[in-house]
Amino acid sequence: GEDVEQSLFLSVREGDSSVINCTYTDSSSTYLYWYKQEPGAGLQLLTYIFSNMDMKQDQRLTVLLNKKDKHLSLRIADTQTGDSAIYFCAEKTGGGNKLTFGTGTQLKVEL
Amino acid sequence: EPEVTQTPSHQVTQMGQEVILRCVPISNHLYFYWYRQILGQKVEFLVSFYNNEISEKSEIFDDQFSVERPDGSNFTLKIRSTKLEDSAMYFCASSDPLLAGTDNEQFFGPGTRLTVL
């Protein structure tokens, strides 16, 4: 079955790059996503990548996908205090719309 | 910007009681979903709903759970007889597969925290 794993915490200094990692087990993943959750808010989609791509860049965000190792990463350049949140990796597999989420990585940005 | 809303933000109930969690999806969306997150655990898929019927459900979504779209705007999750282990944050989401340039992106509400005592 599907399983998605992430490290629980990451702390970076403001202005540095953050790299949040995720591994997944289902090789039939079609899309992989990064969601952000700020306190008291819902899950906000940041970006997604189709499984036949290996990189996607969107302003400060870079997503890298290593399909062979089933590893996904999100790089945030020039991390700001407003980036402090929980970041969830998620995958969509098969023909349905069900998302399988990781546990989330709490990113803390220090001054 | 349109958004998914959920009420209440926090619901406290006694074990064995029925609860109804309410969601108002984005108005022109066609797919609706419920997910839950038990404290400290992963966000888990419960059910998806399309064209007035369940299109997909997980093992968690047993006979104690039901969903309904009672009118043109609300989407509800009912738990018939709550158990302690139903305590979690419940997220509603909606999507529109016809929205150009997206991958049927699921828009999430802020969640309802359910506490079963």
Strand duo B112-116 + B10-13: pairing? parallel
pLDDT for A93: 76
pLDDT at A70 over 70: yes
Tell me whether B57 touches chain A (CB under 8 Å): no
From residue B115, how far is each of B7, B82, B108 by CA, in Å? 14, 10, 20
Do B42 and A42 make contact, defined as CB atoms within 8 angstroms? no
Which is nearest to B64 in space by CA: B85, B80, B87? B80
Give B73 or B100, the one with higher predicted confidence: B73
Return the residue of B nearest to A92 by Cα: B103
Q: Which of A50, A98, A101 sits opposite B56 (nearest CB)?
A: A98
Confidence class for position A102, pLDDT limits 50, 70, 90: very high
pLDDT at B61 over 90: yes
pLDDT at B116 over 70: yes
B87-110 mean pLDDT: 84
pLDDT at B101 over 60: no
Confidence class for position B88, pLDDT limits 50, 70, 90: very high
Mean pLDDT of chain B: 92
Give the range among A33-42, B2-11, B51-60, B105-114 with minimum mean pLDDT: A33-42
Do B42 and A35 make contact, defined as CB atoms within 8 angstroms? no
CA distance A107 to chain B (A): 15
Q: Which residues pair with B12 in a beta bridge?
A: B115
The number of beta carbons lying within 10 Å of the beta carbon of residue A54 is: 12
Distance of CA B35 to the CA centre of its chain: 6
Give the range among A61-75, A94-108, B80-94 with minimum mean pLDDT: A94-108
Tell me whether B65 touches chain A (CB under 8 Å): no
Q: What percent of chain B has pLDDT over 90?
A: 76
Name the token pair of A111: 């001054």
Tens-digit pLDDT profile for residues A8-67: 899 999 999 999 999 998 877 788 999 999 887 888 999 999 888 899 999 999 999 999
Confidence class for position B83, pLDDT limits 50, 70, 90: very high
